[in-house]
Amino acid sequence: MPITDLLVKNAQCYPEETALVEINPQFETSSRITWRDYSLIQPEVGQPFRREITWRTFDEKANRFANLLLTRGVMRGDKVAILMMNSIEWLPVYFGILKTGALAVPLNYRYTAEEIKYCLDKADCSMLVFGPEFIGRLEEIYDRIPNIRHLFYVGEDCPTFADSYDKLIGFCSKDAPDILLTDDDDGAIYFSSGTTGFPKAILHKHRSLSHSAVCEQAHHGQTHDDVFLCIPPLYHTGAKMHWFGSLISGSKAVLLKGTSPAWILKTVSDEKCSIVWLLVPWAQDILDALDRGDLKLSDYTLSQWRLMHIGAQPVPPSLIRRWQERFPGQAYDTNYGLSESIGPGCVHLGVENIHKVGAIGKAGYGWDIKIADENGSVVPRGEVGELCVKGPGVMTCYYNDEKATKEVLRDGWLFTGDMAEEDEDGFIYLVDRKKDVIITGGENLYPVQIENFIRRHDAVKDVAVIGLPDARLGEIAAAIIEVKEGMTLTEAEISDFCVGLPRYKRPRTYIFAKVPRNPTGKIEKPKLREMYCGQSLVEQQIKN
């Protein structure tokens, strides 16, 4: 069934029960809190800003936005982009887009103005919904995105180049538009990256979205009584598709706008959260705060917290061992996935397989996997090959990119670009990545972009960016810089120069050395990793 049918079902079955809660420890107030159909708890001194909506209100808000889009001429198959921070409006906006037959196109909130323009153009977007954090970036480009017919602004002090979502939504009908959707309808476009680091537009049908919900519930057994704590950004397939477990079970979810250990534990305690998806840095921070004595578990009610799972990057087994010491009665799980396979779950460890921590698991619910050579043939068990997945969550294509699609989709198999091997029990271990993407704190960094920027410095002859293992972030970006003969360059100077990059793209380490290249001119990054890492990241994790 289309993913929107699950929302309608919940609105009918649990109309007055809480669907979403937003908690902002900074308790930033705005005109949005005056909406009569929000349940608002005014923050007291030292308490967070908190809003919640019921399943009925959630569905009605999605309907209202769908009807607003229809008044602006949105058509089936149109693309509507979302550029918003996590908030209680995010998911109703997403489902409102889907209810019109249009495609939702979530954008990374870390994109620069030019990256936003690139993605809007790449996906043929005709409308954009954005929040106050992005006014400045859109001011740079709004007159250079002629295909965007309408911009909707969610927040107070609407800029002159956009329409106010807050003011218009109340005039639109709360009844569902009369638009029939099927599993075969296109549902969403998500952005990932190719080997060059430029984002690719990944097209998914409603079938993919719905399967991710079924898969998530099959893996983690969400019931109507569970409460899911969602911290990662909703533009990310991982966050949204894990939340789909709440959608299919009609259970409450909490959107926490903050990652401090104290607020994570307080929210789990106050909201009675039973399932929490963390990234490695956040789990590391919680454990470190407990070790330092900054936090005490006895100060919180955590007995209902039944499952902690981690994804989006390799997980050090030593971290999970520490976690189990602190939370001995809690189940642990990990999922592997990528946006091309509609996020997490195509490979799944399983809570019953804690003895295999370090592996990413076996084929997830409804999925097939194989480890193949360059020709697509299965390699013998124990040998390294490329991880390939097949199932109802595989993307339709890279939108408007037939060449790139053919490179990764072959006979229904998605070639992930990740190198892996299978042990004697059938569990899959990642060995290395074909691509040079660096995963730091769950976010992808693309070395080519960073290298191109650093090469602008007059003293730089050559540069290569690789990932170095980091206990907290998984990996950090390291720039190996070869200085031009007769010139000097210090770490402070290049660090100051890299302030021109977005903060999350700046290298954490600078190494001044010769950059090795092979006879065809390609940087020998495996050699650099051997020189500065000693062994692959996954090998270190298995060893630990």
Q: In the predicted model, what is the mean pLDDT of the chain?
A: 89
Q: Which residues, listed in sequence order, are joined to residue 193 by a DSSP beta bridge? A: 199
What is the rounded end-to-end Cα distance, in angstroms, of the chain?
44
CB distance 267 to 23 below 8 Å = yes
- Strongest mean pLDDT among 236-245, 252-261, 309-318: 252-261
Which residue, among 12, 131, 2, has the nearest Cα to 76 in the 3D structure? 2
From 3.30.300.30, 3.40.50.2300, 3.40.50.1370, 3.30.230.10, which CATH number describes the 438-543 domain?
Answer: 3.30.300.30
Instruction: Please state, in angstroms and rounded to a whole number, the distance separating the CA atoms of residues 385 and 383.
Output: 7
Question: Considering only 28-37, 39-48, 334-343, which range has the smallest mean pLDDT?
Answer: 28-37
Percent composition of the chain: helix, strand, coil (DSSP 3-state, to 5): 35, 30, 40
What residues form DSSP beta bridges with 54?
A: 18
Share of the chain above pLDDT 70, in %: 91
- Return the pLDDT at 314: 64
Q: Residue 10 pLDDT more than 60?
A: yes
Question: pLDDT-derived band of residue 162, with 50, 70 and 90 as boundaries?
Answer: very high
pLDDT value of position 396: 97
**pLDDT for residue 540:** 35
At 341, is the pLDDT very low, low, confident or very high (cuts 50, 70, 90)?
A: very high
Checking if the pLDDT of 400 tops 90, the result is: yes
pLDDT (tens digit, 9 = 90+) per residue, 352-380? 998 998 889 999 999 999 999 989 999 99
How many other CB atoms are there within 10 angstroms of residue 504's CB atom?
12
3-13 and 237-249 helices cross at what angle (nearest 10)? 40
Residue 538: its pLDDT value, please? 39
What are the CB-based long-range contacts (under 8 Å, 24+) for 141-147? 141/113, 141/114, 141/116, 141/117, 144/117, 145/117, 145/120, 145/121, 147/120, 147/121
Determine the pLDDT at residue 245. Answer: 95
E strand or H helix at 199, and its extent? Answer: strand 199-205
Q: Which amino acid is at 105?
A: V
Sorted by sequence, the CB contacts under 8 Å of residue 112 that are 6+ apart come out as: 137, 502
Task: Give 173-180's long-range contacts (Cβ < 8 A, gap of 24+).
Answer: 173/63, 173/64, 173/67, 174/60, 174/63, 174/64, 175/63, 175/67, 176/8, 176/59, 176/63, 176/66, 176/99, 177/63, 177/66, 177/67, 177/70, 177/99, 177/100, 179/66, 179/76, 179/99, 179/100, 179/101
Residue corresponding to tokens 């996997």: 369
Mean pLDDT of 10-18: 98
Both tokens of residue 46?
Answer: 């030292």
**Looking at the predicted structure, is the pLDDT value of residue 531 above 70?**
yes
What is the pLDDT confidence band of residue 332, given thresholds at 50, 70 and 90?
very high
Position 354: which residue type?
I
What number of residues does the chain have? 544
Compute the C-alpha angle 300/302/307, nearest 5°. Answer: 145
Confirm if 460 and 489 have CB atoms less than 8 A apart.
yes
Task: Tell how far CA 235 is from the center of its chain.
Answer: 6
Q: How far apart are CA 514 and CA 180, in angstroms?
A: 60
Q: Which residue has the tokens 């409804």?
A: 366
Distance CA 272, CA 304 (A): 7
Asked if pLDDT for residue 536 goes beyond 70, the answer is no
- Residue 486 backbone zone (phi > 0: left; psi -120 to 50: alpha; other: beta): left
pLDDT, mean of residues 186-196: 76
CA distance 202 to 192: 7
CA nearest 339: which of 254, 256, 399? 399
Mean of pLDDT values over 272-297: 91
**pTM to 2 decimals?**
0.82
Residue 315 vs residue 474, higher pLDDT? 474
Mapped onto helix, strand or coil, the DSSP state of residue 89 is coil
- What secondary structure letter does DSSP report for 377? P
Choose among 361, 325, 324, 323: nearest CA to 344.
Answer: 361
pLDDT at residue 520 greater than cutoff 80: no
Does residue 499 carry a pLDDT above 80?
yes
Flag whether pLDDT at 486 surpasses 80: yes
pLDDT in tens, 64-88: 999 999 999 999 999 999 999 999 9
pLDDT band at 196 (very low <50, low <70, confident <90, very high): very low
pLDDT over 90, % of the chain: 68
Position 435 scores a pLDDT of 67
Compute the distance between CA of residue 105 and CA of residue 93 in angstroms, rounded to an integer.
11
8 Å CB contact between 232 and 238: yes
Confidence of residue 40 (pLDDT cuts 50, 70, 90): very low
Please give the pLDDT value at position 389: 97
Instruction: Tally Cβ neighbours within 10 Å of residue 8.
Output: 18
Q: What are the residue ranges spanned by the domains of the chain?
A: 438-543
Q: Which of 239, 232, 225, 226 is nearest to 307 (CA)?
A: 226
Token pair listed for 176: 């569902």
Instruction: Give pLDDT tens digits for 410-457.
Output: 999 999 988 888 999 999 988 766 667 788 888 778 787 788 789 889
- Residue 198 in this model has a pLDDT that exceeds 80: no
